[in-house]
């Protein structure tokens, strides 16, 4: 009996020893645990990357510049390993230029939870900011984020909103200076614009101030929807020595009609974006909207994979400006392209369009 009792006590002692060792390992000193590789008191860096992401996009209308923003944005995500159909669930919404759709789309997005929301152009972003409070918001294709009341500080916006403005006022000044320097007969510049689009009003104001320094007058022709754009352009024939368009979504969507008027009447046509020059305007000082979208996409990657707060990210503006000339459009509009004009183009391979 004593012998059996001794064996039993020995077994109990062994179990206590095993349990004690197991408790020590559970406390985090296991050599296989990540914490064992850190210095005492140090915290391992937070890994905010996820297996999948949910992103919503609200785009005001389809046209080449805005489509390029979206494409560049998604390309930046893809380059960072966030790929639609694999680990990215994308909710893409296009308002088709209908103001009643801006709020409807924003309310729908606000009713769900997204890892990130992208607004493309001012009206769509304004609706998103008014409704979406539970997701970080980035924007692209916005002319003046402060005037649009999206943010109140470009360096540190705060809240859940930031992004990239597609306008550097210096680009407008450079383009107006180019007109004044190389088109001595131009005394009036006509701008087709939707007075209801804040970005168009702001840019036209910048252009007017820049032209005033050269004694050139800006004439506005209003178009409230795409069907009125051609009529507005035609109203400038005989009154304007040159035509100009801003980053006006209404006008850009129907810009082929402005090009048609410019070509038929040999009127030099200047635009605020590269895509319109590629379509048939003569010149702009600008950048690629794909690159602009890619820049916003890089901000999105920082939010999604690095855990950065959008409110701490400065609003950016295009900084790689260059004169872009369409030589074929010059022929259509009766423009003699001089060597002095060509010499102003920094990247002649990509920005002298044949």
Per residue in 86-124, pLDDT (tens digit) is 999 999 999 998 999 999 999 999 999 999 999 999 999
What is the per-residue pLDDT across 167-216, written as a single tens digit (0 to 9) for each? Answer: 888 999 999 999 999 999 999 999 999 999 888 999 999 999 999 999 99
Question: What pLDDT was estimated at residue 48?
Answer: 52
- pLDDT the model gives residue 51: 83
User: How remote is the C-alpha of 331 from its chain's centroid?
Assistant: 33
The values of phi and psi at residue 245, to 5°, are: -130, 145
pLDDT band at 288 (very low <50, low <70, confident <90, very high): confident
For residue 87 the two structure tokens come to 């680990």
**Percent of the chain at pLDDT exceeding 90:** 77
Pairwise CA distance, residues 106 & 127, whole Å = 6
Question: Is residue 128 predicted with pLDDT exceeding 60?
Answer: yes
Instruction: Flag whether pLDDT at 23 surpasses 60.
Output: no
Paired tokens of 107: 């309310």
Residue 30 host element (H or E):
none
Per-residue tokens: 164? 């990239």
pLDDT reading at 19 higher than 60: no
Residue that the structure tokens 């960072």 belong to: 80
Residue-level pLDDT at 40: 34
Does residue 234 register a pLDDT over 90?
Answer: yes
Round to whole Å and give the CA distance between 5 and 297: 73
- For residue range 317-333, what is the model confidence (pLDDT) as tens digits? 887 899 999 999 999 99
Q: What is the mean pLDDT of residues 217-241?
A: 97
The reported pLDDT for the residue numbered 318 is 85
DSSP state of 42: P
In order of their start, the domains of the chain are 53-167+290-312 (3.40.50.2300), 169-286+322-353 (3.40.50.2300)
Residue pair 85/122 in contact (Cβ under 8 Å)? The answer is no
Q: Would you state the pLDDT for residue 353?
A: 96
Integer Cα distance of 58 and 94 in angstroms: 6
Beta strands in the chain (DSSP E): 53-59, 88-94, 116-120, 137-142, 161-165, 188-193, 217-222, 242-244, 269-270, 283-286, 322-326, 352-353
Instruction: Specify the pLDDT at position 156.
Output: 93
320 backbone φψ class: left, alpha, beta (φ>0; ψ -120 to 50): beta
How many Å apart are CA 50 and CA 220, to the nearest integer? 50
DSSP string, 299-330: HHHHHHHH---GGGSPPB-----EEEEEHHHH
The burial of 152, by beta-carbon neighbours within 10 Å (0-12 exposed, 13-18 middle, 19 or more buried), is given as exposed
Paired residues of 324 in beta bridges: 284
For range 234-252, the mean pLDDT: 95
346: DSSP letter: S
Residue 2 pLDDT greater than 50, yes or no? no
> How does pLDDT run across 142-170, given as a tens digit for each residue?
988 998 999 999 999 999 999 999 888 89
- Computed over every residue of the chain, the mean pLDDT equals 87
pLDDT of residue 134: 93
């Amino acid at each position: 009996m004593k012998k059996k009792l001794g064996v039993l006590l020995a077994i109990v002692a062994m179990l206590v020893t095993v349990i004690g060792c197991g408790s020590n390992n559970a406390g985090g000193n296991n050599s296989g645990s990540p914490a064992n590789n850190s210095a005492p008191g140090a915290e391992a860096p937070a890994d905010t990357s996820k297996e999948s992401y949910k992103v919503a996009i609200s785009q005001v209308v389809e046209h080449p510049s805005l489509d390029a923003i979206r494409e560049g944005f998604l390309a930046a995500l893809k380059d960072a390993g966030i790929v639609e159909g694999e680990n990215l669930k994308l909710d893409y919404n296009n308002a088709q230029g209908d103001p009643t759709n801006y709020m409807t789309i924003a309310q729908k997005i606000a009713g769900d939870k997204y890892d990130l929301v992208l607004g493309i152009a001012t009206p769509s972003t304004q609706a998103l900011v008014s409704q979406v409070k539970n997701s970080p918001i980035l924007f692209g294709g916005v002319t003046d984020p402060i005037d649009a009341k999206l943010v109140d500080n470009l360096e540190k916006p705060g809240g859940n909103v930031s992004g990239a403005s597609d306008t550097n006022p210096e680009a407008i000044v450079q383009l107006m200076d180019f007109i004044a320097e190389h088109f001595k007969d131009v005394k009036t510049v006509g701008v087709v614009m939707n007075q209801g689009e804040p970005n168009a009003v702001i840019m036209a104001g910048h252009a007017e101030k820049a032209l005033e320094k050269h004694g050139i007058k800006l004439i506005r022709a209003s178009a409230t929807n795409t069907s009125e754009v051609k009529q507005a352009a035609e109203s400038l024939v005989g009154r304007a020595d040159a035509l100009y368009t801003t980053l006006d979504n209404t006008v850009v969507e129907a810009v082929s009609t402005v090009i048609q008027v410019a070509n038929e009447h040999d009127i030099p046509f200047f635009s605020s974006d590269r895509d319109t020059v590629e379509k048939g305007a003569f010149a702009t000082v600008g950048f690629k909207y794909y690159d602009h979208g890619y820049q916003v996409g890089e901000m999105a990657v920082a939010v999604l994979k690095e855990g950065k707060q959008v409110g701490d990210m400065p609003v950016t503006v295009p900084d790689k400006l260059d004169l872009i000339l369409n030589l074929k459009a010059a022929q259509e509009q009766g423009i003699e392209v001089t060597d002095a004009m060509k010499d102003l183009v920094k990247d002649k391979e990509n920005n002298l369009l044949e």
